[in-house]
Amino acid sequence: MERTLIILKPDTIQRKLIGRIIQRFEDKGLKIVGMKMIWINKELAYKHYEAHINKPFFNSLLEFITSLPVVVMVLEGPSVVEQVRKMVGNTDCKKADVGTIRFDFGLSIQNNLIHASESIQDAEREIKIFFKEEEIFSYDPNRYLPSE
């Protein structure tokens, strides 16, 4: 089963959209196997956004992602990276497809609510940045459902 990392960014927290966004992933049938609220410090932000260090928007990105707590999650499911990227939509909410998270809730390119891993390799790297192995759970979601 494939896994991906999601970060519900400071604007999601500020606008009280956590539950509404998580609900979309659960409605899709994706399984949450790790989740916690953290405050990303600069060291963690540098590690996560290392590919953007020399880009002109890096300092504002760093300031934004460290401004409030975030919710980090590991989702599991078939082709989960691709599915989640489609659900999240284009980074620029003005270019995002109708019905995506960023189209429905995004306010700007910077305040785009959510990070989703771009590839399986990125997901593997990013999950290790935010989660210890023992913080990711394997479970049968149907275990206690009635059989009849």
- What does the pLDDT profile of the chain (148 residues) look like in tens digits? 899 999 999 999 999 999 999 999 999 999 999 999 999 999 999 999 998 899 998 999 999 999 999 999 999 999 999 999 999 999 999 999 999 999 999 998 888 999 999 999 999 999 999 999 999 999 888 777 776 6
120 by Cβ neighbours in 10 Å (0-12 / 13-18 / 19+) ranks as middle
Cα dihedral angle (110, 116, 69, 35), rounded to 10 degrees? 170
115 annotated active-site: yes
Q: Which residues pair with 77 in a beta bridge?
A: 2
In a domain, 10, yes or no: yes
Which of these is catalytic: 9, 48, 102, 115? 115
In a domain, 130, yes or no: yes
CATH number at residue 15: 3.30.70.141
- The reported pLDDT for the residue numbered 143 is 77
Cβ–Cβ contacts within 10 Å for residue 144, how many?
A: 6
Q: How far is CA 82 from CA 78, 100, 104, 119, in A?
A: 9, 13, 19, 8
Domain count, the chain: 1
Which tokens belong to 146?
A: 């009635």
Q: How far apart are CA 60 and CA 58, in angstroms?
A: 6
Give the predicted TM-score (pTM) of the model.
Answer: 0.92
Cβ–Cβ contacts within 10 Å for residue 32, how many?
A: 15
In a domain, 57, yes or no: no
In a domain, 13, yes or no: yes
Residue 75 belongs to domain spanning: 2-38+69-135
In a domain, 62, yes or no: no
